[in-house]
Amino acid sequence: MTYRDAGVDIDAGDALVERIKPAARRTMRPEVLGGIGGFGALFEISKKYREPVLVSGTDGVGTKLKLAFEFNRHDTVGQDLVAMSVNDILVQGAEPLFFLDYFACGKLDVATAATVIEGIAKGCELAGCALIGGETAEMPDMYPAGEYDLAGFAVGAVEKSKIIDGKSIAPGDVVLGLASSGAHSNGYSLIRRIVARAKPDLTGDFHGRPFADALIAPTRIYVKSMLTLMASVTVKGMAHITGGGITGNVPRVLPDNVTAVLGKSAWPLPPLFQWLQREGNVADEEMHRVFNCGIGMVVVLAAADAAKATELLTASGETVYALGRIEARQAGQEQTIVR
């Protein structure tokens, strides 16, 4: 017997590696000493850092992959994978340096896997980090036919003196929100349940694009615009709005003695979230703790810096909203209030 008889095609794996090398090369940085193909990837820390601190993050795409399988759309989930990790390490002030991916399936389809990894490379380009390695695992009987799973791993660096930890956040500071591109990669177990019940026309027009496109829109990557901002303005804290929604993630960057008070009318609820809330009969509180509700990144800074920050972020292509302010926390008060 051969390994192929057992369900593992070594030749297909080798073909995939060759096919994705050009995509990986597009993401290279000067610090890369060894990338795709070796047992380990080599990356030299830039001399621009005096006291470099490495910041790492890992994540997946979650049940959003189920929609990719259902729609036979594999070109966007790679960007989702990169975004979930690089946006996470960004909030501590880190510049993403390199990324590794893990692609696992029951039977390797080279075309599908290459499309996914092209999306990963695109995400790396948007984040300015190098795709320097990964793993493709073909494991018969582990996954249903036509399905796969993804995991991603990002490493970045920040000068020790410039780590953003939220400790300086104080009453009177301003909370800005950067618009999301959709549901990003969170809440899809609930989204799929609502879609299954409502049975919308997935190909029908939904505010200028097919409804399926709105559901699977890739996660926005905020790295380059936020790095530009941090080079000019003192950012006190950032929160990537992922699992846990707005009310679950903003408190993660706040000192215990303050509360973020956000205005419900400070930003528009995008049409996708309006539809999900209506068709799923989802309460406001549940919306805010499950979904990003149109805000993918929250930034806290001094009130005196708010105007300049808004100008810089807008010039970088972001849509910015003044969400609210930081207030002194009262006894028993929640750390993020939307009212």
CB 120 within 8 A of CB 84: no
Q: Domain 10-162 classified CATH 3.30.1330.10?
A: yes
One fold for 10-162 and 174-338: no
Q: What percent of the chain has pLDDT over 70?
A: 99
Q: Which CATH superfamily is domain 174-338 in?
A: PurM-like C-terminal domain (3.90.650.10)
Residue (of 154, 28, 57) closest to 96 by Cα position: 154
End-to-end alpha carbon distance in the chain: 66
Domain boundaries defined on the chain: 10-162, 174-338
pLDDT, tens digit (0-9, with 9 covering 90-100), for 134-179? 899 999 999 999 999 999 999 999 999 999 999 999 999 999 999 9
Does residue 80 come out as left (phi exceeding 0), alpha (psi in the -120 to 50 range) or beta? alpha
pTM for this entry:
0.95
Q: Give residue 149's pLDDT.
A: 97
Q: Which helix (H) or strand (E) holds 113?
A: helix 110-127
Say yes or no to pLDDT of 38 above 90: no
Cβ neighbors of 33 (< 8 A, separation 6 or more) are 42, 43, 44
